[in-house]
Amino acid sequence: MSAPLFFCLCLVLTTIYCIHAQTIQIEEKLTGIDSTIHKILKDWHVPSCGVGIVFKNKLVVAKGYGYRDLENKLPITPNTLFQIASNTKLFTASAIGLLVEEGKLEWDKPKKKYVPQIEFFNDELNSHVTVRDMLSHRTGISRHDNIWLGSAFTRQQLFEKLTYLEPSIPLRQGFLLNNLMYAASGWIIEFLSGKTWEQYVIDMIFTPLDMVHSTSSVDDEIFGKWSLLFGANTTGLTLTSCGKAVMFSKKK
């Protein structure tokens, strides 16, 4: 056997051995994970969850636990969609970051330079609030969730109500979570990109990352495999379905 051939054979055998050893190591580390997750679901009165584990850029675990529909005993699968709630803020902030990279916006310049359509309660906010302030919850405006939660207002109508929200503390003097600031940031994306928030996220984030199992609307019935949204009481696992949930699953 020639030296180069022998070297190649050794390299292949070493690679196979390392992969096999790595697989064994992963399996050892995951010993007992099923019982652990079932216990967590029971302790927290949660009907289901989906688990994905990535090791060295590879998906090594994709598994569902419990039921996506408790009443009909429909199981969670790796492709079940879940509502991600405020994690959608990550997509809004990332989309804003892409606009910054495109030169259409700056993190620390007053928003009025780019989107004068946004009107706050007073001149100080209008002159100084930046998109970083809006995304960092430091505008001084409290959350006012009752304005939008369950309301029939359109996005434009909610956007126009920002001018009536009096700040609770001065600008940049504290953290006050405000979902409307993220809604307004979504409007900034629409003004500067010429696309809706949904379409911009699809074009700039979902599509490049091949996130074909993800959506931004409950009207988008991907495979019809939603996890129902449940509420639990504090005394036991008595669950009532609250409707369909949305939006995030694994890549294709």
Q: Specify the domain boundaries for CATH 3.40.710.10 within the chain.
A: 86-206
How confident is the model over 97-147, as pLDDT tens digits?
Answer: 999 999 999 999 999 899 888 899 999 999 999 999 999 999 999 988 888
Q: What is the mean pLDDT of residues 216-242?
A: 50
Share of the chain above pLDDT 90, in %: 41
Q: What is the pLDDT of residue 245?
A: 36
Closest by CA position to 102, among listed 204, 207, 185, 183? 204
Whether CATH 3.40.710.10 fits 86-206: yes
Instruction: Grade residue 226 by pLDDT with cuts at 50, 70 and 90.
Output: low
State the first-to-last Cα distance of the chain, in angstroms, to the nearest integer.
44
User: Which pTM does this prediction carry?
Assistant: 0.74
